[in-house]
Amino acid sequence: MKGISFNIERGELVGFLGPNGAGKSTTLKILTGILYPSAGKVNIMGYTPWKDRKKYVAKIGAVFGQKSQLLWDIPPVDAFYLNKAIYSIPERVFKQTMDEMVELLEVGELIRKPTRQLSLGERMKCEFIMAMLHQPEIVFLDEPTIGLDVIAKDKIRQFILEMNKNGVTFILTTHDLSDIEHLAQRVIVVNHGERVFDNSLRTLRSRLGEKKIISVSTLNPLPALTLPGITITKQISAHNVELELDMAVCELNKFIALVNKSSTIRDLAVQEPQIETIIKELYQEE
């Protein structure tokens, strides 16, 4: 690690990204108190994670998509009561928190089934309840929606956003960049053990300038699209093409006029560049 430095304010929802080997997991292990760094310092809510471990872990939560906190042979509700004892959660607070989360995630009947009988999506909902029962102030999420179907992902994302509205701080690391697009207000990107980007998702998108992804189909064969600012990414047929348009070089109206002049547009779709493209270019720059 060459040195990663950043501040996160209470109530933020931050995406923490980087390619494999960039230093993400090492940083998270330091932030959660698992690893003792060889240099530098960390202050989270007034605690040094690896020094004040007992007091600190009572204030944090963690959800790891590939590591379960639930017990395979017993229902999630029994595991919830185990956490109640571990964190010394008062009965009234425990019952209120559990009931609210069970309703929010719609798992009322499921929490009484053995964990092994639950689907991955059902299990992940229960993992979130397990992590949030002691009302942590900051929660670390590592691939929280990995392997989930679209409906389960949406429910998990809604839950995270609802908890964030209530003041919980989230640090999210994932390879599913749609999670970042749906959740993160701010993005920190690390590569080769150092921070290479730290700003809003909007600012990250602006790194590509005014580029748009265009899909166009026409009634007549397309003309030669050789103007500066036009990069063909997929020639589907003589009537159908996908391309990248740099609107700082070639305005959208100019492009439409060029195509319409001889080919007559039948359908045209304009999209923002995929965040995967932006992140990939950022890694390559660094």
Instruction: Write out pLDDT tens, residues 43-70.
Output: 999 999 999 988 999 999 999 877 888 9
Half-sphere exposure of 185 (CA within 13 A, CB side): 13
Are the CB atoms for 119 and 170 separated by under 8 Å? Answer: no
* CATH C-level class of 209-273: alpha beta
Please state, in angstroms and rounded to a whole number, the distance separating the CA atoms of residues 230 and 81. Answer: 60
How far, in Å, CA of 154 to CA of 106, rounded? Answer: 13
Which pLDDT belongs to residue 286?
A: 56
Residue count of the chain: 286
pLDDT for the residue 39: 86
Q: Which part of the chain has CATH 3.30.70.250?
A: 209-273
Distance CA 95, CA 99 (A): 6
DSSP H/E element including 253? helix 252-262
**Cβ count near 272 (within 10 Å):** 13
Mean pLDDT of 243-248: 88
Distance CA 43, CA 48 (A): 5
Structure tokens at 137: 């102030």
pLDDT at 38 over 70: yes
- Under a CB-based contact definition with an 8 Å cutoff, are residues 265 and 218 in contact? yes
Residue 3: its pLDDT value, please? Answer: 73
Task: Determine the CATH number of domain 13-205.
Answer: 3.40.50.300
- pLDDT tens profile 160-195: 999 999 999 999 988 888 888 889 989 998 887 788
Averaged over 84-96, what is the pLDDT? Answer: 95
94-108 pLDDT per residue, tens: 999 999 999 999 998
Where does the chain hold its CATH 3.40.50.300 domain(s)? Answer: 13-205
* DSSP bridge partners of 85: none
Q: Global pTM?
A: 0.79
Is the distance from CB of 273 to CB of 244 less than 8 angstroms?
yes
